[in-house]
Structure 1
Amino acid sequence: MRLGKTAVVLGGSAAGLCAAGALAGHFDRVLVLERDELPAGAEHRRGVPQSKHPHFLLNSGRRAIGALFPGFEDDLIAAGGLHLMPSMDAAYLDGEGWSARKRGSMTMVYGSRILIERVLRDKVRGLANVVVREGVTVTGLSTRGGGTAGGGVTGVDFTASTGDEHIEADFVVDALGRGSSVGDWLAAAGWPRPEIQTLDAKVTYTSRWYDLPAPARRPASWWWRHLVIMPTPDKGEHPAEHEFLVNFFPIEGNRAIACMGSWGLEMPRNTEAFVETARRVRTPLFAAAMDRCAPVSEVHLTRSTGNKWRRYDRLRTPPAGLVFVGDSICAFNPFYAQGISSAAASALLLRDHLARAGRLDAKFSARFFAAQRKLLRVPWRLAMARDQGYACAVGTERLPEWRRRLVEAVSGPAFSLVVGAAREYDVVDEHFAKVFNLDESLGDMMRNPRVLAGLVRYRVRAALGKHRVPFGFDPQAEPPATDYSPGARESTETTAAAR
């Protein structure tokens, strides 16, 4: 059902493109306003500085984008995206050493942010009633009845190369990201400023792109595609680099992104420091992998990583004709890979609400905000569960010191318990994968009786030294290539005996 003539999306990044897909079936015309000149291919651009770092597309995001743009995942893989099973294709260093390699319940599509956006742009270009205006700057909103029960947004002001322009709009979606000025424009028009929840754990991360060697030139021990090094659990003296979260992240085109990040620590800013710092992380494998590759970029550093939730859902009289998706409403610590997936889920939620809408009034906005609040609460609580434990964290959501210390003391061992139990019990693995992919809340997982039983069984067996799957392999050695999946070793041994 058509709900109006014109809908306008502010911003043409991943969130805005997903929003355009959600709106296309409900308005005669959808106009996307983007400041940058968008490249035809997979290229970096000024408006997305984080495209130079790794991006996970979580399963919830894959499904949401696929619902908005059928065939998206197939197109992403055809363009070079890698469909992998992390538990089999990733070397994972957690706790005291390498984890075992075994089949799990989770698969992921790996690719760069620029590839994801290029495929999304191609999908949007296939929508006959969607127009993307590039090289324009949104400068304001036109409104009526600011702050009153009948108030709403009626149009958008923007500047193009030809001068100032205005377009009347039946509906507007803000996808301008962390730096969105829409809240200021609403306040100037008479609406109260929304409450803003913040927590900045001072995360900094730095990345460099590499060309991988051809498969035939890789060492025999290099079975893995993705390398993950978690921060050390050691509370004693150790190099600062042991506190880093490290990824050697595979992307399209036989390339990888080497990335190091930390909470509250200084990170290397140039190539020489990057290479030297890599040699001091918890395992020599990271630097050794970089040494076998050819660098194809400079070092890229990002500090804008705080969690920020603008609580438009708490306005008594939200403006009609305006909603928010992506970082413009809720931005997360990028370490947790929740941004694109949460934005896509919000866009899909918007499409579902539009399909049931009779009028696009303030009641529609309030219903959407309430549903979006429930959706965003899941990734928000996951981000808080870790970031609130850091002494360097600042913001409205910083805990009293005694609670912060409690979170700091409990979160690491609790995470290791879940990861360990997931190695040995399928039910824990399945639900942990759902939590990681934003398909289930952490609270729901921890209230599941079968999950709790698995955690208890694992803890008891661990105390007795009776592990089903080995772990803690020497981090100074190569990660084990052995497949420890149930039945895999027996099959291998039977085949070897038959020979």
Structure 2
Amino acid sequence: MTLGNRAVVLGGSVAGLCAAGALAPYFDEVLVLERDVLPEGAAHRRGVPQSKHPHFLLNSGRRAIDELFPGFEDDLIAAGGLHLMPSMDAAYLERSGWSSRKQSSMTMVYSTRILIERVLRDKARQVPNILIREGVSVTGIATTGAGTAQGRVTGVTFSTATDGVERCEADLVVDAMGRGSSVSDWLAAAGWPETPAQTLDAKVTYTSRWYDLPSPEDRPESWWWQHLVVMPTQDKEAHPAEHEFLVNFFPVEDNRALACMGSWSIDMPRTPEGFVAAAERVRTPLFAATMARCEPHSEVHLTRSTGNKWRRYDRLAPAPSGIVFIGDAICAFNPFYAQGISSAAGSALLLRAWLQSATALDRGFFQGFLAQQRKALKVPWNMAMARDRGYECATGTETLPAWQRRILAALTWPAFNLITGAAREDEVIDEHFARVFNLDESLGDMMRSPRVLAGLLRYQVSSALGRTKVPFGFDAQQDPPATDWTPPGPDLASTPAGAATGRTR
């Protein structure tokens, strides 16, 4: 059953395309308005500056997109995306040394943001009633009864380089214009109250450079890994600033990788020379040595637009009908935590579920959707707050009093070490932690599980007695060991295409 003649989506990036997929079964026409002229292939464009940095497609996100556009994951892998098991295919430097390599329950698909968008565009263009108009600048919204209980968004205005200003009526409008969306300002100008917002900016800056990898036969035998991760130091003694960096050497399609360094409130390199020099000072020589064996494919790209911001449309009294908000347009996260794409796809999937059960797009529909979306957004939001609130440099409405911030900062690393250490030894904790990382479960729900609490206590005791089963802390100045420490018996997860196998390589 269709719920209207036309739905209009503002923005043709991941959030907008996911929203279009959710809307298509319930409207005669879904019109996507995109400011950029979209490339035919996988290419960067002005409206997505983040595309030059690594993007994790979390399991919850890839499943949500696959439900909205069946076959998306298969098409992404066919186009070059890598289906890997991080615990086997990634080398992790945590605390004082390399983590052990072992099978786990989690797999991931690695690719560039531009490939994700290209595959999504291809899938959307196959849906007959989705129309994408490019080179369009949205200039405002049309409303009726603004600021009242009957207030509703009824359409949008937009302009093109050739046709001037146009007005488009819509039964439903979706704001997917990202962090820079002006919709909240347009609502206030029309007569609704100013939209309250929660903010926290931990001054994260990160810098990336693309590299062509050596051919497989030209790589060192020690390169059993495909993904390299260096966590920030936990050392309280004096150390180089680069030891505070979160580092990734992130594999993508076309035999390439993205080298990325990021930090909280530290100046990051902007030039190729500075990038290489900084890489040589991180906690392991492997990062710089790996880059030296590769061929640079790009200049250095730096990003500072990393603050957390949640526009609380659910707190407007009254909230407008006729419009919903998806992705960064409603809740933008510190990109370090890789939550943006998956959160947007999850909101789009939730929208589809509400449309499926709706009989009319009345006020109850929009209030109910906002309330349910708020619950879903709390999971990634609280995860971002749990880390970023601990930094003295953080600013915004969600900062903590100094004494609370110091307590949070003091507890964050010990709690993380306990959970990741226990996950190496306990399959149940490993599965729960993978679900938390992939936004399938909240950290609070995980920590309320009696089985998880018992496992954490058991690991704490075993660690104190020196009786842990899986070794940890291999010398960071040496190559990470290739030994597979998976306990004998059935695999914890069926090995995906491209995942490492075998006990030692």
Q: Which bracket does the TM-score occupy, shorter chain normalised?
A: over 0.9
Q: SS at the partner of 2:70?
A: coil
* Mapped partners of 2:153, 2:97: distance in 1: 55
- Equivalence for 1:409: 410
- Equivalence for 2:193: 192
- Equivalence for 1:141: 141
- Equivalence for 1:182: 183
Task: Give matches, 1:80-479, under 5 Å.
Answer: 80-161=80-161, 162-479=163-480
Could you state the TM-score of these two structures normalised by the residue count of structure 2? 0.96
- Equivalence for 2:42: 42
Alignment deviations for residues 128-169 of structure 1 (CA, whole Å, 9 cap, x no partner): 001000001000000000010111011110001221111111
Q: Which amino acid aligns with 2:446?
A: M
How far is 1:318 from its partner?
1.2
- Equivalence for 1:56: 56
Question: Are the counterparts in 2 of residues 40 and 118 from structure 1 also a CA contact under 8 Å?
Answer: yes
Q: Which amino acid aligns with 1:275?
A: V
How far is 1:194 from its partner?
1.6
Q: Which amino acid aligns with 2:338?
A: A
For the pair 1:75 / 2:79, whether they are aligned, the reply is: no
* Mapped partners of 1:239, 1:459: distance in 2: 31
Q: Which amino acid aligns with 1:476?
A: Q
Question: Are the counterparts in 2 of residues 305 and 332 from structure 1 also a CA contact under 8 Å?
Answer: yes
How far is 1:238 from its partner?
0.5
How far is 1:487 from its partner?
1.4
Q: SS at the partner of 2:25?
A: coil
* Mapped partners of 2:409, 2:35: distance in 1: 41
* Mapped partners of 1:19, 1:473: distance in 2: 45
Q: SS at the partner of 1:25?
A: helix
* Mapped partners of 1:384, 1:441: distance in 2: 13
Q: Which amino acid aligns with 2:72?
A: F
How far is 1:195 from its partner?
1.1
How far is 1:362 from its partner?
1.9
Q: Which amino acid aligns with 2:120?
A: L
Q: Which amino acid aligns with 2:410?
A: A
* Mapped partners of 2:287, 2:118: distance in 1: 29
* Mapped partners of 1:43, 1:277: distance in 2: 28
Alignment deviations for residues 58-105 of structure 1 (CA, whole Å, 9 cap, x no partner): 000011001100000000000000000000000000011000000011
Alignment deviations for residues 417-452 of structure 1 (CA, whole Å, 9 cap, x no partner): 100000000011000000000000000000101111
Q: Which amino acid aligns with 1:312?
A: Y
- Equivalence for 2:498: none
Alignment deviations for residues 187-223 of structure 1 (CA, whole Å, 9 cap, x no partner): 0111111210000000000000000000000000000
Alignment deviations for residues 320-343 of structure 1 (CA, whole Å, 9 cap, x no partner): 110000000000000000000000
How far is 1:415 from its partner?
0.4
- Structure 1, unmatched stretches of 5+, are 490-494
* Mapped partners of 2:410, 2:24: distance in 1: 48
* Mapped partners of 2:155, 2:52: distance in 1: 34
Q: SS at the partner of 1:24?
A: helix
Question: Are the counterparts in 1 of residues 211 and 259 from structure 2 also a CA contact under 8 Å?
Answer: yes
Q: Which amino acid aligns with 1:442?
A: L
* Mapped partners of 2:374, 2:460: distance in 1: 35
Q: SS at the partner of 1:123?
A: helix
* Mapped partners of 1:424, 1:381: distance in 2: 27
Q: Which amino acid aligns with 2:477?
A: Q
Question: Are the counterparts in 2 of residues 317 and 362 from structure 1 also a CA contact under 8 Å?
Answer: no
Percent identity reads 72
Q: SS at the partner of 2:467?
A: coil
How far is 1:363 from its partner?
1.5
Q: Which amino acid aligns with 2:102?
A: K
Question: Are the counterparts in 1 of residues 4 and 27 from structure 2 also a CA contact under 8 Å?
Answer: yes
Question: Are the counterparts in 1 of residues 188 and 195 from structure 2 also a CA contact under 8 Å?
Answer: no
Q: Which amino acid aligns with 1:269?
A: R
How far is 1:314 from its partner?
1.2
For the pair 1:33 / 2:33, whether they are aligned, the reply is: yes
* Mapped partners of 2:233, 2:415: distance in 1: 14
* Mapped partners of 1:193, 1:316: distance in 2: 10
Q: Which amino acid aligns with 2:482?
A: A
- Structure 2, unmatched stretches of 5+, are 491-501
How far is 1:488 from its partner?
7.7
* Mapped partners of 2:397, 2:16: distance in 1: 28
Root mean square deviation, CA, Å: 1.1
Q: Which amino acid aligns with 1:343?
A: A
How far is 1:316 from its partner?
2.1
For the pair 1:481 / 2:482, whether they are aligned, the reply is: yes
How far is 1:406 from its partner?
0.4
Evaluate the alpha carbon distance shift between residue 488 and residue 475 of structure 1 in structure 2; reply closer, same or farther with a 3 A threshold.
farther
Q: Which amino acid aligns with 1:205?
A: Y
* Mapped partners of 1:48, 1:175: distance in 2: 13
Alignment deviations for residues 14-66 of structure 1 (CA, whole Å, 9 cap, x no partner): 00000000000000000000000000100000000000000000000011001
Q: Which amino acid aligns with 1:158?
A: F
